[in-house]
A and B are shown apart, each in its own frame.
Chain A
């Protein structure tokens, strides 16, 4: 079983925002100083808690975007009807306090010893925990071959675009833009389906280790297509965040 169960009391604590970075029109990366942070694994998340003046509490989970050993960074997409994300993307500034608990999760995590080849499939902001995995791979000197297939609505919605454009040895990044493509776009321009996976995914015989993260409908469709094509279900790890946005 992947991950090691760590018996550690999960408590709410106050972190300090050290930077807020613009990723796209609706996405921000929030870098945090978390006192006593025990370290995290690539793919884990934190819970964020906001309390208003009346004592009303809203909690949401956000994936950690940074690699183990880097300061904790969360990449947050603004949901217009959200209770938490608009505050995080629009109001939060460096120097502000933010209440969180974590790191959380032992299933959707990757360590170099887990091997590969890795197939990373992202729908919209589902790329966030996969970016942590990519950075962890690079920082640890892992040579595991990686293909990242990343579905976005438009080129302007691609998170970490500059970073993903810089070639890293052993990492292939394949984009598909489902709603609008810029003139001369040479990449894919359709939703991820069985035919597209047949073109870009590792052959099942290579025994790939797969991480799929995105809206529930994206994850359901993609993981079922992969298993039908011969991928072993226990090597297809999934994380669904609901909604429909971003793919």
Chain B
């Protein structure tokens, strides 16, 4: 499927982190590429509870968000830095 970008999850990120995150910096844990969160590749699946954020340079998974009822499970293990 075609990716959108980090702008599309600005609301989700603000819900999780409590602050505006699309202009925040990020560093890929695999290739070290540094980008603002808005520039990351986002795969949001309309009929599944998960959102996957990948590095546009090396395609590594950087962040995963899964919503179950009112809880959002967050996996940031692919990131070397955020913020």
| Chain A residues packing against B (C-beta within 8 Å) | 1-3, 5-7, 9-10, 45, 47, 58-59, 61, 83, 101-102, 104-108, 216-217, 237-243
Q: In the complex the two chains form, is A242's CB within 8 Å of B18's CB? A: no
Q: In the complex the two chains form, is B20's CB within 8 Å of A6's CB? A: yes
Query: Who on chain B is nearest to A104 by CB?
Result: B10
Name B1-44 residues within 8 Å CB distance of A. Answer: 2-8, 10-11, 14-15, 18-20, 22-25, 36-39
**CB of B68 within 8 A of chain A?**
no
Q: How far is it, in angstroms, between the C-alpha of A102 and the C-alpha of B15 when the chains are bound?
A: 11
**CB of B48 within 8 A of chain A?**
no
Q: In the complex the two chains form, is A105's CB within 8 Å of B7's CB? A: yes
A-B contact list, 23 entries, CB within 8 Å: A5-B19, A5-B20, A5-B24, A10-B15, A45-B7, A45-B10, A59-B11, A61-B7, A104-B22, A105-B20, A106-B10, A106-B23, A107-B22, A107-B36, A107-B37, A107-B38, A216-B5, A238-B39, A240-B3, A240-B4, A241-B8, A242-B3, A242-B4
Query: Who on chain B is nearest to A44 by CB?
Result: B10
- A-B contacts counted at CB < 8 A amount to 78
Q: How far is it, in angstroms, between the C-alpha of A45 and the C-alpha of B24 when the chains are bound?
A: 17
Query: Who on chain A is nearest to B14 by CB?
Result: A10
Q: In the complex the two chains form, is B20's CB within 8 Å of A216's CB? A: no
Q: Specify which of B14, B18, B20 is in contact with A3 (CB 8 Å cutoff).
A: B20
Give the most central of B7, B14, B15, B19: most A CB within 10 Å.
B7
